[in-house]
Amino acid sequence: MKFFALIKDFNLLFFKDRSSKFFALATIIGLSFSISIILCTLGLMDGFSKKMREALNLGHGEIVLTSYDGFFKPDNNDFKDLKDIGVENIAYVVRTQSFATVKSKGKAVFVLGIDDAFSKISKEFPIPKPGEIVIGKSLSEGLTISKGDSLALSFAAGRSGEKYLPNNASLKIKDIIHFKIHNFDERFVYANMQDVQKFIGISNLVNVAKLKLNNTLVTPEKISGVVEKLRSIFLYEYRVMPYWSEFATFLRAVEFEKYMISIILSIVVIIAAFNCLAFIIYSKEKKAKEIFLLFAIGLSPKKFQRLWIWQNSFIWFLSFALALLFVEFFSYAMANWDMFALPSDVYYLGRVEVDLALRDILIVMAISFVFIQSLTWLVLKRLDAKSLATGLREEFS
Amino acid sequence: MSFIDATDVTKTFGKNHVLNKVNFHLESGSQCVIKGASGSGKSTFLYIVGGLERLNGGNIFVGDHDLSKMNDDQLARYRNEAVGFVFQFHFLLSSLTNLENILLPARLGKKKVNEVESYITGLAKRLGVEECLEKYPYEISGGQQQRINLIRALSLKPALLLCDEPTGNLDSANSEVVTELLLELSEKQGTTLLVVTHDEEVSRHFDRVYHMVDGVLS
């Protein structure tokens, strides 16, 4: 209790004047800005990865299987008895490529043929009936078409087509949805499975199975665990991939960049920590009279160091709290302000959010705290070698 | 048994030998003055006795404290609990009230502030500066400042009171008052008093007078 009363006196002595208060405030704001920069960067990287995975997961199930033989029958017995490893539902898809045209505009697209079973892995997805198609918002804007319009799709027919011409189909747009990933929004179209099977002449075969896992297995680590189990079951029959596999390299790059950038941004925190150092040196010079007198009447060097360590801890705590507020503000701005919208054709996503993991917060807290206190300790260790008597005479003369 | 026991104390600042094998002994409760010209080393010796300077050679014991063997933290505690300083320049902090200045040693030490406050108020009344306690140092006269300085030095009832030119900044009337107060309080509380001065008017109040010439005490 007495020590805390001493801290109060210490603050009274050292921060009573306006310039010291101002310097302390500037130190806190500077340190909080630098901490918030590193936190925001880490949070943005994580937020990007999280949003990317969420967007990829929408309507795709957690696991994708493709056969090494190409096409396969959808009702074969390979996929029964998978409930034990967490597979809740299965939907079969026919995936192929096509060229979509309307009036004078055209675009290469991926066509996914789906049936009613698809609603088991994507509850609210509008399932197209025969003659219908569901397209993405970016594609509709690019081709200038809207709901109810007709879209022509051309499929390669090989030698089966008349004079080797492609098979063409005209489908009515049932719905326009906004896929969160720009690529999907611009390139993916969903048609009725029977229509697609007919267009490419594969009878009742499919080439993709999408698996939905139960709700307890939605984290990337758990999904990867199920993927490994399925790979051991379907070693030679099916290629088993998690839903993010198409973007796996990209997501790994983001993760790697996160750590590289955080190392570089640590320099920003270090520079801000030197503000604390400047503040100690400034206070020491400005309050030399008070310091020498306190030493003369019984303040021990150890206690003096402890007072400064406490003082700096308080400055660090305030800075960190302010930094977290800055992060919240920046997160809001990223989610809502137009100037922070991403070019989705480059980044796949139009918006990202700041998703800060507790682990990252604790690491930044620990590093900044340790660095500031180490600097403080070093500076105080090298206080003036001047004797007390000399210091008193000089300061009070 | 001496309360202050200094044997062959030497102190140098660079190549300058300020104290040359100074021997000094003073019993508990006694009062003495060390006279000397400026630069003779008398203040340096006082500061060594008070733990503000370290000696380069010899030994010095104050009560049970062996000053030559104490580390910085131990010396700080010694200064807080065993010694009261009255400086020529009052060394009062202008950002604190006079009462806050007086309470500084108590706040730094082990004694509770409320234990000391009533004693301080009594002292202030005795020295005629009670109404100055809530004021700031710059709001009172030089004589009053020195009395506040004296109360701060005595606030923890130290065993040893060290005064370095306590009347150096005062007029003759105030010098007389302060000198008499020092002697009176020292006698009343049994505090050992050691005063360093070059002022004849001060030294004539003391029975024991030492002379410091070129770092040698006689």
The CA-based diameter of chain A, rounded to the nearest angstrom, is 108
Dihedral pair phi/psi, residue A46, rounded to 5°: -65, -40
User: Which residue in A has a C-alpha nearest to residue B80's C-alpha?
Assistant: A298
For B69-94, what is each residue's pLDDT tens digit? 999 889 999 999 999 988 877 778 88
Closest CA to A3 of A219, A388, A365, A310: A310
pLDDT, residue B136, reads 93
The overall average pLDDT reported for chain B is 88
| Reduced DSSP (H G I as helix, E B as strand, rest coil) percent helix, strand, coil of chain B, to 5 | 40, 25, 35
- State how far residue B150 is from chain A, nearest Cα, in angstroms: 13
Q: Which of B16, B70, B80, B107 to mutate to test the interface with A (most CBs of A within 10 A)?
A: B107
Dihedral pair phi/psi, residue A240, rounded to 5°: -110, 125
Residue A243 neighbours by CB distance under 10 Å: 21
For A24-80, what is each residue's pLDDT tens digit? 898 889 889 988 988 988 888 888 888 877 777 765 788 899 988 888 888 666 777
Taking an 8 Å cut-off on Cβ atoms, the answer to whether B52 and A392 are in contact is yes
- In contact, A13 and B93? CB cutoff 8 Å: yes
Taking an 8 Å cut-off on Cβ atoms, the answer to whether A289 and B93 are in contact is yes
Domains of chain B: 4-217 (3.40.50.300)
Q: What residue type is A274 in one-letter code?
A: F
Interface of B with A in 104-133 (CB under 8 A): 104-105, 107-109, 113
Confidence tier at B162 by pLDDT (50, 70, 90): very high
pLDDT in tens, chain A (397 residues): 667 777 777 777 777 778 888 888 988 898 899 889 889 888 888 888 888 777 777 657 888 999 888 888 886 667 777 888 888 888 999 999 999 998 888 899 999 999 998 888 887 788 999 999 999 988 999 899 999 999 999 987 765 555 667 788 899 999 998 877 777 888 899 999 999 998 888 888 999 999 988 877 778 888 889 999 999 988 888 899 988 887 788 788 888 888 888 888 888 878 888 888 888 888 888 888 888 888 888 888 888 888 888 888 888 999 999 999 999 998 888 888 888 777 766 666 767 778 888 988 998 889 888 888 888 888 777 665 667 777 777 776 6
Confidence tier at B176 by pLDDT (50, 70, 90): confident
Interface of A with B in 270-289 (CB under 8 A): 289
d(CA A64, CA A248): 14
Closest CA to B179 of B160, B159, B199, B208: B199
d(CA A206, CA A203): 9
Taking an 8 Å cut-off on Cβ atoms, the answer to whether A293 and B107 are in contact is no
For A9-29, what is each residue's pLDDT tens digit? 777 777 777 888 888 898 889
For B201-213, what is each residue's pLDDT tens digit? 888 888 888 988 8
ipTM of the complex: 0.87
Ramachandran area for residue A86 (φ above 0: left; ψ -120 to 50: alpha; else beta): left
Taking an 8 Å cut-off on Cβ atoms, the answer to whether A300 and B72 are in contact is yes
- In contact, A136 and A179? CB cutoff 8 Å: yes
- State how far residue A259 is from chain B, nearest Cα, in angstroms: 45
- In contact, B202 and B33? CB cutoff 8 Å: yes
- State how far residue B12 is from chain A, nearest Cα, in angstroms: 13
Residue environment code for A334-352, b if the CB has 16+ CB neighbours within 10 A, otherwise e = beeeeeeeeebeeebbbbb
Chain A CB contacts of B85 under 8 Å are: 296-297
Q: Looking at the complex, does the CB of residue A397 fall below 8 Å from at least one CB of chain B?
A: yes
Pairing of the two strands B160-164 and B83-86: parallel
- State how far residue A52 is from chain B, nearest Cα, in angstroms: 59
User: Which residue in A has a C-alpha nearest to residue B110's C-alpha?
Assistant: A2
Q: Which of B42, B49, B104 to mutate to test the interface with A (most CBs of A within 10 A)?
A: B104
Taking an 8 Å cut-off on Cβ atoms, the answer to whether B87 and A392 are in contact is yes
Chain B CB contacts of A299 under 8 Å are: 76, 80, 108
Confidence tier at B188 by pLDDT (50, 70, 90): confident
Q: What residue type is A256 in one-letter code?
A: F
